[in-house]
Every structure is written in structure tokens, then in C-alpha cells.
Chain A
């Protein structure tokens, strides 16, 4: 509300604001309540142009922002049993699934893509929060297993970007089992000596946090993201106290030693490339596109595993 809306009389308001304008052209920032024009918001990677608040991002926008030339290949995920418990709360789970599929154009809450970042081959598994709150059921488990197997096959690093409320309750105990399954998956990547990076985005909670999301070699977080195990409402009810300022936000976790860095979205791609370069003993910024990514990766491995004798080290040096 500004002085103009108060000043201009209701009938005239109707004239100046024609009804046929779709209401999704302007987005209200949930933090500062300012209105941001949709194109400006997209250009700014869904970061509020007024206050810098990081809004949730559709999964493919995120992949577009991370991969070289905004290009990647998505992989097919193994089919899972649909609605194994025939679960019905106020609505049937199978109906909820169909609704989410129609809304997002996705089969389930995770998209797995492979491509290059700074010319390094990478596999990314990213969550779509709009698909049932990014919740983890069997399909999400399969997606992470597929992503990990692909990373191992391609000898590529794995980057996982959760945005999830936790386990998918409609799959009952089978959703809980995904905590073990996804842990096996990311361990396969780690065991091959390949980097496993996690970018924690808003929100990362429950069973997702308590499994693969907290097991990254490096944990990055987007500013202001809610990251935690128990929901803040549950904690408040248990301890009957107000929660501290900024509780369960990225910066709070950083202060408590739970993440390595809080990285603004604009810097995320560059930072990931930098990290991968360091972990793989390559310099993606210096070497530009002279080798295909996979042979670069192999070179990097050779360099790291079989170090040639260094003539500058004297023979009698015994550390």
C-alpha cells in the first residue's frame, strides 16, 4: 500500500488496474513484502531485488543456472511401486501424485541431470519443492541411487541439491527406509574417491537432513535457508519456549559448525566449479575445453594417485 492506492478512489482503481492482467506477473517477496516483476525476478535467479531474500527455485531453473551453457541431459529413473500402502488421508495419495505431476511436469520430486560445469563432467540431483514439498519416497530414493551410480560410471563428482520437508508420510515406513538407501548411494560415490557436494536450499529438514544431505564432503548452504531435523513448531511445543533469533537458518548453522559456507545464489556456480577444481587437482578456469571432460577427469585421477618422483626433494628426506 502506498499513498496512491489510498488516494485513488476505488472506482478509479478499477479503471487503472484492468482485471485481465494475470496475477502471476508480480511476485511478492515473502520477506520484505515488496512486489517484484516476474521477469526481473527470473533474471535475478529468484533472489528478491529489494532485500536479497532467496526464494525457492523451480528445479530446471536451477539446473539451467548451474550447467555450462545451460545444457544437460536428464536420465530416466527406475519405476517404483505407486502408492504401495494405498494411502488415503483427506485425499488419496495417488491423486496427490497426479496433481503434483500435472503441476510440475515431473514424475517425482527429483531430477537427475549430467553435463559439465567449468568443463568438468558432473552429475546433479536436484529437488523440486513444488512436488509434494520435495518429500522423499521410493522414487526420490531411486533418483539418488541412479545419480550416484551414474557418477561412479562416469567418474564424475555428484552434487545433490535438496529442497525437502523430509520423508513422504504417504509411503509410511518405506519412506523412512529411503534414509538408508540414499546413504548407501552417496557412500558409493565417496568410496570411489569422487567428490560429493551438497547444496542445502530452503528447506532441508527431517529425514532428508538426517541422511544424505548431511553427509557431503563439503556442505554449502544458500542464505536464509531453513535447515534442521525437527520442525520448529514441534521444538517450540516440546520446550515451551520461544526459539532463538535466526534458529535453523543457514547462517545459524554456519555459526554452529554444521555447514562449510553460506553462498549467495549468484556465486553458487563459480564456487562449485572452484571447489571441484581443487578436489580434482585441476584448474577449470585455466584449461578451457581442450579435452573432453572425462579424459580430463582421468588425467586428474592419474595425477593424484601416481605422483612422479619430485627431483627437488632430497633422497635422504624422511618425514
Chain B
């Protein structure tokens, strides 16, 4: 028998997940009915293997119900549900995108000042044959890699490394692709002592000074200053179920509502979904995710993102460097302004 155990997701405010012995699929709480149906399908398949019964019809019927439920659930996700999807432990992370989209990836390390911070992965490689610099915030997949990447929360070293790589890309005319996925910059004593704020500020300053194309994609969670440090792009895209906000819903709730439990309410008020940000004119486009989110069919989201980057990059490389810089700066200065 397929033994499935219900367990509590280790994430903040995490919902219930089902851990199967065959696949470590995590389900969010609003996906529970879907998880049950999929459990039934797996059980039926298992039975049919054992008894040689023909249950194709029943499986097909269940599967189409799963698809329908998934589609309808994901078509109208609430901001809080989006927050959970954006943080989904199975969601593809920066390294997954790098593996899928970048050939000959050559990682580069260190800020030349203090240390190497693996919360930010950076290096050169080829995107559709073109030399590029890729910089991504990586959260890690399991306990070991999460610790290694400090759960995607970068320290000053990480931002200083990113800045060094941006300047290098600028010198060699490499377009830059940044992948944003972080709860925020790391809040620690050492990080503060070594100038977390200054490191982020310089990273933003350098982003605004580049004469090469800069494309930023929020692939999961875009958390505050730690995210915008890598998201001041000529083009800023978000995946369909990604979020991007000035503070986490939990943080916002505990400050403005004085109650961290109000995160759901805060998420609604903050307008943090890709769709909201597009309406506000903060981002330039949304990359569609497959039904049920990027984690269900990663290949589909890789293809969609590859197409989106290729389309924008093709346009951006035709623009002269000084223009790229001027347009990027002007875009942010005009952002949110009232029309005169």
C-alpha cells in the first residue's frame, strides 16, 4: 500500500502537506481536496497493477476532475494562497532555472572584501547561445542546501558579489539576468556590522548605472530591500504566482495590526501579486505558469521563461548602452507618478 502521512509544512504559516513514499509532493492546505483525489488515483493504479483490473476509465474520470479542480483553484488564488504557492518548497529555485536555461554555466564566487555568500549564485553562461551574466537568489532544496544557501537570505557579501559581477558584465558587454527569490536580506548582527544597508544601496546604485541590458525575474518570493537590490531591471518580470512586496505579510501584520496572525488580511491589503503589480505599473510582464503552479510541471515554466527572456533580450540588445541606462533610470523615476 501507498503509505501517506500527513505532516505540517515547516514553512511559516504552512499548510498541511502529504508526504508519499513514492514522491515527496507537498500540498498546500487549499489543495487538500486535490491531494485526496490524487491519492485515490495512485491507489487505483497500485491496485490495477496488482490485480490486473482495467480501471483506466475510472482513473481518467478522476484525473479530469483533478485537472478541473486544479484549474479552478489556481485561476482564483487569493493573495495569501499565492504567497503560499510562491514559497512552495517544491517550486523551482534559481539553480533549477540556471540548470534548465543556461548552458556552460560558470559560477563565480566572493566579494573580494570579506567572503563568499551562497545565498546569491552568480556566474557567466550562455543563454540561447548568447553570453550572459546570471545572478540569482537561491533558497536551497533540503536541510543541507538550505543551510548552505542561508535560506536565500543574503548577507552584505552576497550583494557586494552581485555588484562586482554586474560591474564585470558591464565591462564585457554581457547582458544580465537576475532571478529573485528571497524572504529578505538576512537580519543578523554580523550582516548589520558589515553594512547590509550600504551593500544593498550600492547594488541598487550599480544596477541603475549599467550600460548593458538587465532583465530581472521574480520567480518566487520578492521580499523587500533584499529583493529590489537585484530587481532594478530594464525589464522586470514576475512568474504568474510569484509575489513581490515591501515587507512580508507576516511582518506587515505584526507591525500594522500588531498581530502576526493577521498575515492573510495583510496579504490582501498589500497588493503583492504579479497581477496587482502589473496593474500598478511596477512590473513589465507576467510569465504564465502551468496549471497547478510551476512546481507541478517545471519544464513548462522553464520554456515559458526562456521564451519571455529571449523576446525581451532580443529587443534590449539593440538599444545603445547609454540609452539602456537612461531608460532604466527614467522608468523608475516615472513609476507611480501622476500624469500632469
What mask results when residues 225 to 242 of chain B are scored 1 for a CB within 8 Å of chain A, else 0? Answer: 100110010000000000
**Closest residue of A by beta carbon distance from B229:** A210
Q: Establish whether residues B204 and A167, one from each chain, have CB atoms under 8 Å apart when the complex forms.
A: no
What mask results when residues 204 to 216 of chain A are scored 1 for a CB within 8 Å of chain B, else 0? Answer: 0011011111110
Q: Establish whether residues B256 and A210, one from each chain, have CB atoms under 8 Å apart when the complex forms.
A: no
Given A177-B282, A210-B201, A235-B188, 11 more pairs with CB closer than 8 A: A142-B337, A169-B247, A169-B255, A172-B269, A173-B276, A174-B282, A212-B201, A214-B195, A229-B200, A234-B251, A256-B195
Within 8 A of A (CB), among B165-220: 185-189, 191-198, 200-202, 204-205, 207-209
Looking at the assembled complex, report how far the CB atom of B51 sits from the nearest CB atom of chain A, in whole angstroms.
54
Contacts of A239 in B (CB 8 A): 188-189
Looking at the assembled complex, report how far the CB atom of A302 sits from the nearest CB atom of chain B, in whole angstroms.
27
Within 8 A of A (CB), among B74-102: none
User: In the complex, A184 Cα to B251 Cα: how many Å?
Assistant: 28
B291 CB within 8 Å of chain A: no
Q: Establish whether residues B338 and A207, one from each chain, have CB atoms under 8 Å apart when the complex forms.
A: no
Looking at the assembled complex, report how far the CB atom of A279 sits from the nearest CB atom of chain B, in whole angstroms.
20
Among B42-50, B296-304, B306-314, B328-336, the stretch in contact with A: B328-336
A116 CB within 8 Å of chain B: no
What mask results when residues 142 to 172 of chain A are scored 1 for a CB within 8 Å of chain B, else 0? Answer: 1001000000000000000000000101111
Within 8 A of B (CB), among A52-87: 78-81, 84-85, 87
Q: Establish whether residues B198 and A258, one from each chain, have CB atoms under 8 Å apart when the complex forms.
A: yes
How many pairs of residues, A versus B, come closer than 8 Å at their CB atoms? Answer: 165
Give the interface of B toward A (CB within 8 A).
185-189, 191-198, 200-202, 204-205, 207-209, 224-225, 228-229, 232, 244-247, 251-252, 255-258, 266, 269-272, 276-277, 280, 282, 329, 332-333, 335-338
Give the interface of A toward B (CB within 8 A).
78-81, 84-85, 87-90, 138, 142, 145, 167, 169-177, 179-181, 183-185, 187, 206-207, 209-215, 228-231, 234-235, 238-239, 241, 243-244, 247-248, 256-258
Q: Which of A79, A167, A209, A229 has the most CB of B within 10 A?
A: A229
Q: Establish whether residues A176 and B271, one from each chain, have CB atoms under 8 Å apart when the complex forms.
A: no
Contacts of A175 in B (CB 8 A): 246
Looking at the assembled complex, report how far the CB atom of B200 sits from the nearest CB atom of chain A, in whole angstroms.
4
Contacts of B270 in A (CB 8 A): 85, 87, 169, 172-173
Of B185, B205, B232, which is within 8 A of A229 by CB? B185
Looking at the assembled complex, report how far the CB atom of A251 sits from the nearest CB atom of chain B, in whole angstroms.
13
Q: Establish whether residues B193 and A183, one from each chain, have CB atoms under 8 Å apart when the complex forms.
A: no
Q: Establish whether residues B228 and A180, one from each chain, have CB atoms under 8 Å apart when the complex forms.
A: yes
User: In the complex, A258 Cα to B333 Cα: how many Å?
Assistant: 28
Looking at the assembled complex, report how far the CB atom of A245 sits from the nearest CB atom of chain B, in whole angstroms.
12
Q: Establish whether residues B187 and A234, one from each chain, have CB atoms under 8 Å apart when the complex forms.
A: yes
User: In the complex, A79 Cα to B339 Cα: how many Å?
Assistant: 10
Q: Establish whether residues A211 and B338, one from each chain, have CB atoms under 8 Å apart when the complex forms.
A: no
Of B189, B204, B247, B335, which is within 8 A of A243 by CB? B189
Write 15 A-B pairs (CB below 8 A) sorted by A numbering: A85-B270, A89-B266, A173-B272, A176-B225, A180-B204, A180-B228, A180-B232, A210-B201, A214-B195, A214-B202, A215-B205, A229-B200, A230-B192, A230-B196, A234-B187
User: In the complex, A78 Cα to B329 Cα: how many Å?
Assistant: 18
Looking at the assembled complex, report how far the CB atom of A116 sits from the nearest CB atom of chain B, in whole angstroms.
28
Q: Which of B189, B191, B196, B280 has the most CB of A within 10 A?
A: B189
Looking at the assembled complex, report how far the CB atom of A230 sits from the nearest CB atom of chain B, in whole angstroms.
3
Q: Establish whether residues A85 and B204, one from each chain, have CB atoms under 8 Å apart when the complex forms.
A: no
**A79-B338, A210-B201, A214-B198 given as contacts; is B269 within 8 A of A183 (CB)?**
no
Q: Establish whether residues A89 and B208, one from each chain, have CB atoms under 8 Å apart when the complex forms.
A: no
Q: Establish whether residues A183 and B256, one from each chain, have CB atoms under 8 Å apart when the complex forms.
A: no
Looking at the assembled complex, report how far the CB atom of A46 sits from the nearest CB atom of chain B, in whole angstroms.
25
Q: Establish whether residues A173 and B245, one from each chain, have CB atoms under 8 Å apart when the complex forms.
A: yes
User: In the complex, A89 Cα to B191 Cα: how many Å?
Assistant: 31
Q: Establish whether residues A214 and B201, one from each chain, have CB atoms under 8 Å apart when the complex forms.
A: yes
User: In the complex, A177 Cα to B333 Cα: how many Å?
Assistant: 9
Of B232, B246, B336, which is within 8 A of A169 by CB? B246
Q: Establish whether residues B208 and A229, one from each chain, have CB atoms under 8 Å apart when the complex forms.
A: no
User: In the complex, A84 Cα to B270 Cα: how many Å?
Assistant: 11
User: In the complex, A209 Cα to B247 Cα: how many Å?
Assistant: 15
Contacts of A87 in B (CB 8 A): 269-270
**A173-B244, A174-B280, A235-B189 given as contacts; is B228 within 8 A of A179 (CB)?**
yes
Of A171, A179, A181, which is within 8 A of B333 by CB? A181
Contacts of A231 in B (CB 8 A): 187
**A88-B269, A173-B282, A210-B201 given as contacts; is B333 within 8 A of A184 (CB)?**
yes
Contacts of A177 in B (CB 8 A): 228, 282, 332, 335-336
User: In the complex, A229 Cα to B192 Cα: how many Å?
Assistant: 7
User: In the complex, A241 Cα to B333 Cα: how many Å?
Assistant: 41
Q: Establish whether residues B336 and A81, one from each chain, have CB atoms under 8 Å apart when the complex forms.
A: yes
**Closest residue of B by beta carbon distance from A239:** B188
Contacts of A78 in B (CB 8 A): 337-338
**Closest residue of A by beta carbon distance from B201:** A214
Contacts of A229 in B (CB 8 A): 185, 187, 191-192, 196-197, 200, 225
User: In the complex, A99 Cα to B302 Cα: how many Å?
Assistant: 49
Q: Establish whether residues B332 and A85, one from each chain, have CB atoms under 8 Å apart when the complex forms.
A: no
Q: Which of B196, B246, B270, B333 has the most CB of A within 10 A?
A: B246
Q: Establish whether residues B201 and A173, one from each chain, have CB atoms under 8 Å apart when the complex forms.
A: no
